[in-house]
Structures are given as C-alpha cells and as structure tokens.
Structure 1
Amino acid sequence: MMQKLLTSFMFCATLLMGCSAHKLEIQQGNVIDPEAAAQLQVGMTKKQVIFIMGTPLLTDPFHQNRWDYIYRLSKSDHSEENERLTLFFDGDALDRIEEIADVELTDK
C-alpha cells in the first residue's frame, strides 16, 4: 500500500514539474539591423532609405517628414528590449538620424 502511494506521489510530482509557466518571446516592429542603419547617410532619398531599411513601422500623417522604425522584444524572463530609429527628412532628402538602441526594461 505504501509503495503504491509513494509511486503515485512521485508520478504526480513528475507531471507537475512539467507544468511550469512558459512565456514565448514576442517580437514586434521592424528588426533594426545595425549594419543597415550604419549605411544611412544624410542626403539619401526616401527610396534609398526604404531600400536599406524597409518601410517604416510608423509614418505620422501630421509629420510626413518623420519616419519611425521601432522594434520590441518581450522575453520569457519578463524583460524587454526596445530599439527606436527615427529619421527626419527635408523634402525627399534624409536630414537627421536619431537612434535609441538596446534599452532594457524589466518588470518587477
């Protein structure tokens, strides 16, 4: 009787160990390739920028000369990686580049 109880307990304990909470890593936005971002130069046309970086995640209808490339990775350990690349244009030419990369935020 004791042997069956112990065996049942061990079986249940083994099953419960496999029931840990698992959170998938979730990627959102444009993956910002550092090598591609390094190719950007002031004076490039919008078509050249799209060829290098792809289409921007956000184009503000009120500020059409600003393009935002945003990337967010939510990790299984509840930390986040956030990157943002903002490009400003003067007409059709790239005027200014602002980059915020590798910002880590942790939920506590």
Structure 2
Amino acid sequence: MKNFLPVLVLSALLAACGTWRNPIERISPHKVPVQQGNAISQEMLAKLKPGMTPSQVRFALGTPLVVDPFRNDRCDYVHHLEKGGKVVEQRRVTVVFENGVLKGIEGDVQAAVAREEAGK
C-alpha cells in the first residue's frame, strides 16, 4: 500500500500533463507598438495656409519623411503604426508647393478628419 500512493500521485500528474496542450502556443511575447514616420493630427494640418513657405510648413508639421531630390515642389509625410504585429493605421499626406509657396495638401487628409471626429 505504501508503494501504491506515490504511483497513484505520479500517474495523476502525468495524466494531467498529457491533457495540457502545448504551452508554447499559449505563451506569446509582448509585441511593442511600432510607430514610424510623422504622426500628423488635424490640428497640425489646420495650421497650414496657402502661401506658406516650405520652412513654415516644416515648422508646423516637422521634417518630412520623404523629400524627392528631383522635385522640390512636394514633401511626403508618411505615418505607419503597428500594434501586436498588425497594421493599425497607415496614412500619407503630401504637401505641394508652387513657386516656393504652399499650393495644397493631398492624401489621407479626410481620413484623418473622420478618424479624429470618431474618437471624440
């Protein structure tokens, strides 16, 4: 009887471990949110007015992520956000200049407005 109890306990433990699925599948590493590029808010875009110089635009929005060396009449601001390995947000705003002054803004401007209004 003395030998029966340890065998019973060991059998119960082994049976319990056998029903437990692979623990590696349940354990996943923490994935840090990765933000790349320029996070441009609607408030920042509202500061832009036609006729601003490139240095004034750079002061309002920050340094552009992409500057075309062959065409100095545009600057591209790209924002990419990943959380948990999945793309949560991806935006692109292009600032267009003509004769050295701001002509217009293209890209995901309306998407930014709708997203910020939904968040309020």
Pairing 1:6–2:13 present: yes
Structure 1, residues 1-46: CA drift from partner, whole Å, max 9, x if none?
3434528739x87x65762254332111111122111111111111
Check 1:62–1:2 CA distance in 2 against 1; reply closer, same or farther (3 A cut): farther
Match of 1:83 among 75, 86, 91: 91
What is the aligned counterpart of 1:30 among 33, 38, 41?
Answer: 38
Paired residue for 1:45? 53
| Structure 1 counterpart of 2:79 | 71
Aligned residues: 101
Name the TM-score, length of structure 2 as normaliser. Answer: 0.68
Which structure has the larger Rg?
2
Q: Does 1:60 align with 2:68?
A: yes
The corresponding residue for 2:101 is 93
* Structure 1 unmatched runs, 5+: 103-108
Partner of 2:64: helix, strand, or coil?
coil
- TM-score, reference length from structure 1: 0.74
User: Which stretch shifts more, 90-99 or 60-69?
Assistant: 90-99
- Provide the rounded CA distance (Å) in 2 between the counterparts of 1:35 and 1:90: 23
Which residue in 1 is equivalent to 2:115? none
